[in-house]
Amino acid sequence: MREVAIIGVGMIPFGRRDEDTLLDMLAEASMRALKDAGMEKKGVDAVYVANMGAGILQHQTSVASALVDRLSLMPAAADAVENGPASGASAIKNGVLAIASGYYDFVLVAGGEKMREVVGWKATDFVSTMTHPEVEYPYGVTLPGMAGMFTRLYMEKYGLTRDQLMDVAIKNQKMGALNPYAHVEMLITKEGIAESPDAVVNNPMAADPLHLYDMCPVSDGAAAVVLCPLELAQKATEKPPVVVAGFGQATDTHTLQERDDPTDLKAVTLAAEQAFTMAKMEPKDIDLAELHDAFTILEIAESEHAGFFKKGKGGIAVAKGETSLGGKLPINMSGGLKARGHPVGATGVAQVVDVVFQLRHELGDNRQVKNAKTGFTLNFGGFGNNVVAFVLRRAE
């Protein structure tokens, strides 16, 4: 297999983009990535587009064909990839495989979602369509509901505290406030969301024991990357290429109740192990991580299941600042899904874009992990039933 490099990245600010169509967003992010790769006038062999819900939300299908036409990239091959909230990383994985196999040389991967076109409860319902159609969805379960139940079990089993969950929210909103691409640019304080008597209004219970500020926002947004073989990367761009050193993907039962232990995110562990094995690295070799914190609990649980902390120690690590900038393993220096936002089809791509920014040392001191050489991303689909992980490293 050929080694694969990321030679261009692009992203548009996430948020509420009433004025843009889904295609506008995908096209803008793609053009930014192609420009970053110095490929505005060069051919792209294939395009993979990650999107979860255009068929439902925009009544639009064949998004990849539409994007190729919008960008005048014909006759490039084009495929849409739908894997729930892990669509972004799945699309990148497909692009990586296509190049690694030697079949294509230059691949554009774009991920996007336009979720603010519908009211909040319809967006929640749309995301819930990934639950089991017979034993979960008809009974009204939502992803926040699942996360609430998961959190309660995790607290009982590992002694996780609400304070530790709040530490994740405060950290990530602080980083989001420094990220021009983030949807939420608002600092929050423990006084404002928990300690003050006014917190009962500011941060109401959403899915016991999770509160409003334990949840990611519903966002519009898009992100894109350009991939090519490492051996061509140095000629293609002057920027330091970032190598896809390893990837992994694993699945688990569709429903939570069928798992031996609902708190055990096996697919996270397996996907991470595969990625580390392929990269010939261990968790301790990673300088920073972007994890899928759709809910604060997930950042902690994923950090443990991916092998960065022992079970039950992830929350303590957050509280001690070990996952903050300057800590042992900075996590979600983009603000994560919690603050950057979670346009579902875009998220997995955005995580990789953010790690590439870090590995190219392009961020300001207030977000840049010093001398970062390796990064890890984890994109979490369903409630952990389809997970994709990447280990990335800066090419020397």
Asked whether position 175 contacts another protein by CB under 8 A, the answer is no
Say how many residues touch another protein, by CB under 8 A.
Answer: 27
Yes or no: say if 20 and 27 are a contact pair by the CB < 8 Å rule: no
Among 202, 232, 278, 281, binds another protein (CB under 8 A): 202
Given candidates 197, 238, 261, 326, which one binds another protein under the rule CB under 8 A?
Answer: 197
208 beta partners: none
CA torsion 126-131-135-141 (nearest 10°) is: -60
Q: What is the DSSP string of 253-276?
A: -SSGGGSSSTT--HHHHHHHHHHH
> Binding to another protein by residue 140, rule CB under 8 A?
no
C-beta of 8 vs 15, nearer to another protein: 15
The region of 187-195, 274-282, 284-292, 295-303 touching another protein under the rule CB under 8 A is: 187-195
Q: Which of 108, 115, 184, 228 binds another protein (CB under 8 A)?
A: 184
Residue whose CB is less far from another protein, 16 or 373 = 16
Please name the residue that has the structure tokens 């062999």.
45
Shortest approach of another protein to residue 350 CB, angstroms? Answer: 15
Query: Which residues in the 141-160 window bind another protein by CB under 8 A?
Result: none
Q: Which residues contact 105 (CB under 8 A, 6 or more apart)?
A: 45, 99, 228, 229, 232
Q: Which of residues 109-138 bind another protein (CB under 8 A)?
A: 119
Work out which of 186, 208, 320, 366 binds another protein, going by CB under 8 A: 186
Question: DSSP 3-state assignment of 23?
Answer: helix
* Stretch binding another protein (CB under 8 A), from 147-155, 201-209, 222-230, 258-266: 201-209
> Rg for the chain (alpha carbons), in Å?
19
Sheet holding 374-381, edge to edge: 77-81, 46-50, 107-114, 220-229, 4-11, 242-251, 386-394, 374-381, 288-290
Question: Binding residues for another protein, per CB under 8 A?
Answer: 13, 15-18, 119, 183-189, 191-193, 196-204, 213, 217
